[in-house]
Amino acid sequence: MTSFIQSINTHRKLAILNNHRQVIRLEGETQWCFDHAQLIINAFNTTYFWVGNAPTEISTILFSNILGQETELLIFNALLNFDANLFAAAEGTLKGGGLLVLLTPQCINKKDFFYQYIDKQLAQFPFCFFSQDNPIDVVPLIPKIDESTTHALNLNDQNDAIIAIKKTITGHQHRPLVLTANRGRGKSAALGIACAHLLIEKHCKHILICAPSKRSVHTAFKHSSALLPDFQLAHYSLHSLDLSQSLQFIAPDTLLADKPHTDLLIIDEAAALPVPLLESLTKHYTRLIFSSTLHGYEGSGRGFALRFQSRLKELSPQYRKYHLTQPIRWAENDPLESFTLNSICLTQFNHAPPCYHHHQSVEFQQILAQELLQDKKLLQTIFALLVDAHYQTKPSDLCLLLNGTDLSIFVMQQSQQIIGVALINHEGQISDVLSDDIYKGKRRIKGNLIPQSLAFHSGFKEASSHRFARIQRIAIYPSEQNKSLGTRFIAHLKQWAITNKFDHICTVFGATAQLTRFWQHLNFSPLRMGATRDKSSGAHSLIMSLPLTAKGKALNQKISKQCETQFLFQLSRNLQSIDPLLVMLLLKNKRVTDDINTAKLHSYLEGERPYQYIELDLVELILTGNLIALSEPQQKLCIEKVLQNHSWVQICKQLGFSGKKQAQQALKNAIKQLIGKSNAIR
């Protein structure tokens, strides 16, 4: 056995004794790294995963197949680039006592600031390091091994979690549980075991588990099946995830559409689902568990913790929380977990909150990626603020922050305290040849979200040649929000965009009434609403823009006019389910017309004419009438029935009417008020 394998064996022994995961870094040319990784595989003859490009005789594991699996040896190929999302996903499969063999290049691209950052971080951890340039028989410094040390598995945390889960059924209704943990804490196992107990003890007959994918709940079903020998387990497989109809998986869209009856609903990886969906389920189900990983490859759950839990407190003031802290897949103070959380997810940085004084001035500063590379505290502060402000922030967002070639980073600060951060994407100025291909749908180039969408989806080819400053992210420290700081920040960004000769400053976001109102207040106008809901936000994406040049204003006016027409058309089709309050905001610049046939409307009110014969007249009335004069339930009724064309059955279900007759009378009452108060009817 060579000194190389002896050294690796010593590190593995250390990992097993401490129940930690150890990293073996191999730095060299591709073939050298492959050969030495193969030596490790042959020496230990154990199960392993190889992630990334591999020798022809070795099969690689795909990202989609990583979830819910475990291994004792993990080979991670980072020779060409360091994939942060893939690394954060893969390292969680490695069990305590396992080895991660990291393949890295001898020379990192000077323009790859993210990989340079990773390289610096790796050097700060006690990882085993071998380089092709150094003799292999030079054994790295290895910590002293105390073979008398034992690490007994402590399951108190998991047992308490199981008790908390079961109490959701045995306790009072309308007290949902929020179960959170970092990876490796046994959260999924606790869910599966608790479900089995509830079924065995006959507290439940039927349990539904919802998650973004079937594979993500595989571990929970595996632990349930182990405790349910009397059930027809032949029905259980990764594809069906069905334990004899008693414990079933349900997809989020099916759950939201059907809302089937169940004794207990579990939403696993809730941080990956849109807040509106979670709110809707909270209102509908009386026995509910929200489970979420707070940090990892899926995106940080801190946005989930901040946003949804504050909303949950309003909907269910007596909701309960339980956070798992004790790892069970590995021991505490695991060096690999520490590297991942401190270097890739940047979640273990406790920054002091800023204290804004309104009588003191604020400063704006543009930050370069090179500055972030040299100043980790600054990087941590900015990234932590972005994580807290955004619903989902993935490890790859850190890579984009450091490597974005068309990205400008700005901070708002006071007394050297950062209170806000904004990221601006430079988009547009696309060549004529590419613009033509984009317009025809033949090409889609990286970045350039706004000009490509306006060219292809909206049909304005000339948009590709314009320069767009897209506000990708803007975040104000949570405690300092609602103090007009965001407005001041955007005013500064607007002036910067004008100075740098952009034609537009714009944004795209999951449309809500609150966000739309904010951007409208800043004179941004809507240019396009997406036809389908975004998977992350659960809302339709809305492009809003403020033109800055004469050329920009001319284009903005044309696209804005078309957007209004399309929006009215889409309301009765793919936008049927958007919030009526959002509809009111987007229709606030209504047209005025004299073409409303009031005689026909009165004929409907008197019961002489059926609803279907006056629909067009009602649309005109709603678009020109003073909806603000109506109560909120009346506004919803008019918009959902007349503009969004909901069925009477839907209207009764959504607004609580006993039947079609009562709903029709409520609509007629609203119409009478509009006829009496609308300035458009003469």
Q: What confidence score (pLDDT) does residue 138 get?
A: 44
Cα Dmax for the chain = 98
Please work out, in degrees rounded to the nearest 5, the angle formed at the alpha carbon of residue 392 by the alpha carbons of 390 and 397: 90
For the whole model, what pTM was predicted?
A: 0.87
Q: Quote the percentage of the chain above a pLDDT of 90.
A: 64
Q: Are 494 and 485 in contact (CB under 8 A)?
A: no
Model pLDDT for residues 26-59, shown as the tens digit of each residue: 999 999 999 999 999 999 888 899 999 999 999 8
The structure tokens listed for 303 are 């946005």
Q: What is the CATH number of domain 156-324?
A: 3.40.50.300
The structure tokens listed for 181 are 């943990």
> Which alpha helices (DSSP H) does 393-478 contain, by range?
395-403, 432-439, 449-456
Task: Name 426's bridge partners.
Answer: 469
Q: Are 456 and 331 in contact (CB under 8 A)?
A: no
- DSSP class of residue 342 equals I
Find, among 12, 37, 41, the residue nearest to 26 by Cα.
Answer: 37
Q: Are 640 and 616 in contact (CB under 8 A)?
A: no
CA 547 to chain centre: 29
End-to-end CA distance of the chain: 97
Q: What homologous superfamily does CATH list for 363-585? A: Gcn5-related N-acetyltransferase (GNAT) (3.40.630.30)
Which stretch of 167-181, 244-258, 360-374, 559-573 has the lowest confidence by average pLDDT?
A: 244-258
Confidence class for position 340, pLDDT limits 50, 70, 90: very high
Domain chopping of the chain, boundaries = 3-131, 156-324, 363-585, 590-677
Whether 569 has a pLDDT exceeding 80, the answer reads yes
Which amino acid would we find at residue 453? S
Model pLDDT for residues 192-220, shown as the tens digit of each residue: 999 999 999 989 999 999 988 887 788 89
The structure tokens listed for 568 are 């009215």
Cα separation, 64 vs 295, in Å, equals 18
| Sign for the pseudo-dihedral over CA of 495, 498, 500, 504 | positive
The structure tokens listed for 39 are 């030596």
Highest mean pLDDT among 152-156, 245-249, 432-436: 432-436
Q: Are 97 and 153 in contact (CB under 8 A)?
A: no
Model pLDDT for residues 343-355, shown as the tens digit of each residue: 997 765 566 788 8
Phi, psi of 513 (to 5 degrees): -60, -40
Q: What confidence score (pLDDT) does residue 466 get?
A: 98
The structure tokens listed for 312 are 């949950």
Exposed, middle or buried: residue 28 (CB in 10 Å: 0-12, 13-18, 19+)?
buried
The structure tokens listed for 18 are 């401490």
The structure tokens listed for 35 are 């050969």
CB atoms within 10 A of CB 348: 15
Confidence class for position 80, pLDDT limits 50, 70, 90: very high
Phi, psi of 196 (to 5 degrees): -60, -45
The structure tokens listed for 539 are 């809302």
Q: How many CA atoms lie within 13 A of 430 on its CB side?
A: 27
Helices (H) and strands (E) in the chain, counts: 26, 19
Per DSSP, the three-state class of 500 is: coil
What is the CATH T-level fold of the domain 3-131, as seen in this structure? Rossmann fold (3.40.50)
Cα separation, 14 vs 146, in Å, equals 9
Find, among 112, 68, 115, the residue nearest to 102 by Cα.
Answer: 115
Q: How does strand 320-324 pair with strand 207-210?
A: unpaired
Q: What confidence score (pLDDT) does residue 245 get?
A: 66
Model pLDDT for residues 267-276, shown as the tens digit of each residue: 998 887 878 7
The structure tokens listed for 102 are 């990291």
Cα separation, 622 vs 564, in Å, equals 15
Model pLDDT for residues 500-518, shown as the tens digit of each residue: 999 999 999 989 999 999 9
Q: In what order do the strands lie in the sheet with 288-293?
A: 242-243, 247-250, 207-210, 264-267, 288-293, 177-181, 320-324
Model pLDDT for residues 613-641, shown as the tens digit of each residue: 999 889 989 988 888 889 999 999 999 99
Confidence class for position 70, pLDDT limits 50, 70, 90: confident
CB atoms within 10 A of CB 656: 10
- DSSP class of residue 458 equals S
Q: What confidence score (pLDDT) does residue 631 get?
A: 94
Mean pLDDT of the chain: 88
Domains 3-131 and 156-324 share a fold: yes
Model pLDDT for residues 389-409, shown as the tens digit of each residue: 776 678 899 999 999 999 999
Whether 234 has a pLDDT exceeding 60, the answer reads no
Please work out, in degrees rounded to the nearest 5, the angle formed at the alpha carbon of residue 651 by the alpha carbons of 645 and 655: 135
CB atoms within 10 A of CB 380: 18
CB atoms within 10 A of CB 484: 11
**Over the range 454-478, which residues count as b (16 or more CB within 10 Å of their CB) and which as e?**
bbbebebbebbbbbbbbbbbbbbbe
Q: How far is CA 532 from CA 356, 515, 653, in A?
A: 40, 18, 23
Q: What confidence score (pLDDT) does residue 319 get?
A: 95
Find, among 475, 487, 484, the residue nearest to 409 by Cα.
Answer: 475
* Average of per-residue pLDDT across 475-482: 89
Highest mean pLDDT among 50-59, 136-145, 207-216, 241-250: 50-59
Find, among 276, 300, 305, 278, the residue nearest to 538 by Cα.
Answer: 276
With both helix axes pointing from N to C terminus, report the angle between 187-200 and 218-226 in degrees, rounded to the nearest 10.
40
Q: What confidence score (pLDDT) does residue 233 get?
A: 42
The structure tokens listed for 555 are 């284009």
Whether 678 has a pLDDT exceeding 70, the answer reads no
Phi, psi of 86 (to 5 degrees): -65, -40
Cα separation, 464 vs 206, in Å, equals 54
